[in-house]
Amino acid sequence: MTRSLAVVAGVAALAVPSAASAASLTVAPQKRCYGSGESVNLLGAGFTPSASANITRDDALLGALNTDAAGAFNGVLTLAQNSGRQTKTYTATDTTTPTLTASAQITVSSVRVRLKPANGAPGRRMTITAHGFTTGRTLWAHVLHGSSKRNLKVGALSGACGNLKTRRRLLPRDAALGVHAIQFDTFRRYSPRRPVRDRYTITVSGV
């Protein structure tokens, strides 16, 4: 699912194409896999100058991007994938010369963390299974309870789509009563605005 498609005019980094050059569509940053919530740039070149190009995803129209005087465009695309992993084809078609097209494939993974067991003592070691964390090389858990905050290094991510399976203790044995919110992401420091993240809550009761 595409959450946004915006236009940035005048991309200075793209060279002016010659009349004989073919159109191109590239993705930046270039990765083999992207996590849901991650934003990328669709960079087009070689299209009709000062016109527009229609953008489709697997033949479904998303919108149009205006080209600059050099026939280039830069569209910002926010990716979304609810479950699993999927590769989709994005195509730019020149609205003035429809035979002028270019395509790029993007693989997107959902972002998920699974914790087992679901119940037990606060200090229990849990099996942590994660995928879709493509914004870094390390998975972190930020544990929030009231005004306290702990940043825990969970482990190294592997594979193109940021996978991990490990066992880790997220709460100490003497964890305070109440709800502990846990955000998983790839950053050492906590921020609630990380685009690629997953969240859990663990309730510690006195029963």
Q: How many beta carbons lie within 10 A of that of residue 115, not counting itself?
A: 17
pLDDT tens, N- to C-terminus, the chain (207 residues):
322 343 332 232 333 334 445 899 999 999 999 999 999 999 999 999 999 999 999 999 999 999 999 999 999 999 999 999 999 999 999 999 999 999 999 999 999 999 999 888 888 999 999 999 999 999 999 999 999 999 999 999 999 999 999 999 999 999 999 999 999 999 999 999 999 999 999 999 876
Residue 118: partners with Cβ closer than 8 Å, 6 or more residues away? none
Strands across the sheet containing 164-169: 112-116, 125-131, 164-169
Q: What is the dihedral of CA 115, 110, 1, 194, to 10 degrees?
A: 80
User: Where does CATH 2.60.40.1930 sit in the chain?
Assistant: 2-109
Can you say how many angstroms the Cα of residue 106 is from the centroid of all Cα atoms in its chain? 11
Tokens in use for 127?
């099996």
* Residue 118 pLDDT: 83
Domain 2-109 has CATH 2.60.40.1930: yes
Q: Which CATH class is domain 112-204?
A: mainly beta
Q: What is the pTM of this model?
A: 0.82
* Residue 207 pLDDT: 63
* Residue 110 pLDDT: 98
User: Where does CATH 2.60.40.10 sit in the chain?
Assistant: 112-204
Tokens in use for 18?
């010659």
* Residue 18 pLDDT: 41
